Chains A and B, each alone.
Chain A
Amino acid sequence: MARRLTAALELGAWWVALAGLWLVLIQTVDTLECGVGAGAALLAAYGGRAARRAAVRR
């Protein structure tokens, strides 16, 4: 159970950071933009976590 919690925490941390970055990158902020940004941030967060786990696992 703890493992899934840390996984969710890491994904969440990455997601918040990347969604913030998305908001910084775009010009006009509207609902569609935020939706696409949330999806993209989730994808990138998953990629970041998978990369960290792949790098650490020996």
Chain B
Amino acid sequence: MPAPVRRYALAVLPLTLLTGLYVVAHGQVSPGGGFQGGVVAATALHLLYIAIDYRALRRVRSVALFTLADAAGEAGYLLVGLGALLSGAAFLRNVLPYGTTGTLASGGTVPLLNAAVGVEVAAAVVVLLAQFLDQAIVIESADGSQDQGHTPQGGASGRTSEGRTPQGQKSAPGSEGGRR
């Protein structure tokens, strides 16, 4: 991609991340919530692939870590629900005091649930797109058609992708010299 697009992406990525976190945190005060904010944050991470190249995204995104974060978000949601159960109220009932309306603390346990859902949705979208990207981006060194996002198969994700060209790209990393 041209240089201004790369600079724009590197400048806007943290802003998008912060917007996502802002939308997650203010779920109970203004429109937004865990899901919307999580998707915005996940899209921010993929700015790396869209504006720079796939290898940059792969350096930052380790699918194992995000699968773990997905599970952790889900577990967080459950624990907040169980917390209410343990303290004698029904599952997921609000046990925290209601602060003043219009502030973060006004939602009782809702901000905690929003945060858990935010983490879970962001991680789930990253893992989902990782599957899409691994499928769609394969080594094309055989016929020299330069593909933007080359990824040596058997990388962090470790899955071989059926999209690989029949010549078999076992030697792919070796032949990477020609491409960007």
User: B14 to A47, Cβ gap below 8 A?
Assistant: yes
Contacting residues of chain A (2-58) with chain B, CB-CB under 8 angstroms: 14, 18, 21-22, 25-28, 30, 32-33, 36, 40-41, 43-45, 47-48, 50-52, 54-55, 57
User: B14 to A25, Cβ gap below 8 A?
Assistant: no
Could you count the A-B residue pairs with CB atoms below 8 Å apart for me: how many are there? 72
Smallest Cβ-Cβ distance to A57: which chain B residue? B59
Chain B residues with Cβ below 8 Å from A50 are 60
Contacting residues of chain B (1-44) with chain A, CB-CB under 8 angstroms: 6, 9-10, 13-15, 17-19, 21-22, 25-26, 29-30, 44
Contacting residues of chain B (60-96) with chain A, CB-CB under 8 angstroms: 60
In the complex, which of the residues A25, A45, A57 contacts B22, with contact meaning CB atoms closer than 8 Å?
A: A25
A27 to B30, CA, bound (A): 9
User: B10 to A44, Cβ gap below 8 A?
Assistant: no
Interface size on A, residues (CB 8 A): 25
Taking chain A's interface residues, is the majority helix, strand, or loop, or is none over half, making it mixed? helix
Stretch of B97-105, B135-143, B150-158, B165-173 on the interface side:
B97-105
B residues neighboring A (CB under 8 Å): 6, 9-10, 13-15, 17-19, 21-22, 25-26, 29-30, 44-45, 47-48, 52, 56-57, 59-60, 99, 102-105
Which among B14, B15, B45 has the highest number of chain A CB atoms within 10 Å? B14
Min distance, Cβ B12 to any Cβ of chain A, angstroms: 10
In the complex, which of the residues B26, B29, B44 contacts A47, with contact meaning CB atoms closer than 8 Å?
A: B44
In the complex, which of the residues A27, A36, A52 contacts B10, with contact meaning CB atoms closer than 8 Å?
A: A52
User: A40 to B18, Cβ gap below 8 A?
Assistant: yes
Chain B residues with Cβ below 8 Å from A43 are 17, 21
Report if A21-B18 is in contact (Cβ < 8 Å); known contacts: A40-B25, A54-B59.
yes
Smallest Cβ-Cβ distance to B30: which chain A residue? A27
